[in-house]
Amino acid sequence: MQDLRLAALRRFAVAMTVLNIVGHTVLGFEPPIAQPLLALAAAYGMELLLELLDARAQRRRPRFLGGPVTLVNFLLSAHITGLACAMLLYANERVLPVMFAAAAAIGSKALFRVTMERGSRHFLNPSNFGITLTLLLFPWVGIAPPYQFTENIASWADWALPALFIVVGSFLNARFTRKIPVVLAWVTGFALQAMVRSAVHGTPLAAALMPMTGVAFLLFTFYMVTDPATTPVPWRHQVVFGAGVAAVYGILVSFHVVFGLFFALTIVCTARGLALQLAWNRALARAPQVVLVRSEMGATPAIRAGDAAGSGLATPAGLVGQVHE
């Protein structure tokens, strides 16, 4: 599984790098080239700093040590995050808001974590959270205009580029992230919420479905909402996750909230994180716990069975399930 994750990160990093290079040289990206470069610097710096602090706190060796390959592999996630923030945000020629977004995205992985069986992990989509926070704190910052992805191409290329995104994105998510159920649920849910809003508010259906025709929507669909670290693994849960993002988006748009895609994903990721933490807390409350019983023989372990086996103290032989200290 770890090898599959590393392979996915490498391919997503290459895809994002190629897209940014082609975007700034051919497609018509309007922000200055300094924005992605400084966003990468901010993402790299924050990732390395947090790892150094965590390694020192745990008295272990930093994970980025071990040679150039180890360092590159360690920074793959930060690379994708930095480029995504620079590509999707529009701050005119200013670079500080984009750098802030990249740094906040990486920082969210250390600040917002949920307890799991094998430690803890972040639950917010980093790139999406960095973008969301920047949009909230800097009202004059917007989202990159969709036309810039195809501004300098015409004719058959107008169809070839979206087709390429769909093919490559479908392959990466089917082969490496295994998040195709999220994609299908999100796209289907988006179409359904457009139909519902059209029926309720009387707006043209074509206008509600229009975002699906843009390259920005494809990027969000195949490279943002399918983040393997912050989406469920079971396919049924993936369907609920993707459909949930679409439903929240429809509600936000009904209340005239702009940038609904990014806000919806942040809200659903937050709700999922809270649900996971509550489930873990309930599991701990129901599980038996080891306590020390003082006797003439000294301190011996016993089990406070709680909900698992009635109440009172039980012997270690009566333990069923996981024991927590």
> Binning pLDDT at 50, 70 and 90, where does residue 235 land?
very high
In the chain, how many domains are there? 2
| 260 and 301 in a common domain | no
| 182 and 230 in a common domain | yes
Cα(79)–Cα(40) distance, integer angstroms: 6
> Binning pLDDT at 50, 70 and 90, where does residue 203 land?
confident
325, part of any domain: no
Tell me: the pLDDT tens digits for 23-44?
Answer: 999 988 999 999 999 999 999 9
| 194 and 180 in a common domain | yes
| 26 and 156 in a common domain | yes
Cα(293)–Cα(257) distance, integer angstroms: 58
Which two three-digit tokens encode residue 47? 């990732």
Cα(231)–Cα(124) distance, integer angstroms: 9
> Binning pLDDT at 50, 70 and 90, where does residue 274 land?
very high
**Whether the predicted pLDDT of 325 surpasses 90:** no
Return the CATH number at 181: 1.10.3430
Say which range, 57-66, 155-164, 169-178, has the weakest mean pLDDT: 155-164
Cα(146)–Cα(153) distance, integer angstroms: 13
| 201 and 311 in a common domain | no
| 179 and 160 in a common domain | yes
324, part of any domain: no
265, part of any domain: yes
| 168 and 45 in a common domain | yes
Residues 129 and 104: beta-carbon distance below 8 Å: yes
Cα(246)–Cα(248) distance, integer angstroms: 6
Cα(25)–Cα(14) distance, integer angstroms: 17
Cα(171)–Cα(193) distance, integer angstroms: 26
Residue 146's pLDDT is 82
pTM for the complete prediction?
0.85
323, part of any domain: no
| 49 and 173 in a common domain | yes
Residues 288 and 306: beta-carbon distance below 8 Å: yes
Cα(276)–Cα(173) distance, integer angstroms: 24
51, part of any domain: yes
Residues 31 and 93: beta-carbon distance below 8 Å: yes
Domain that holds residue 43: 2-282
Strands (E), 142-243: 142-143
| 212 and 293 in a common domain | no
The DSSP string of 14-76 is HHHHHHHHHIIIII---S-THHHHHHHHHHHHHHHHHHHHHHHHHT---TT-SSHHHHHHHHH
| 309 and 176 in a common domain | no
Say which range, 13-22, 190-199, 284-293, has the weakest mean pLDDT: 284-293
| 296 and 215 in a common domain | no
Which two three-digit tokens encode residue 254? 């009904």
Q: DSSP character for 324?
A: B
| 107 and 54 in a common domain | yes
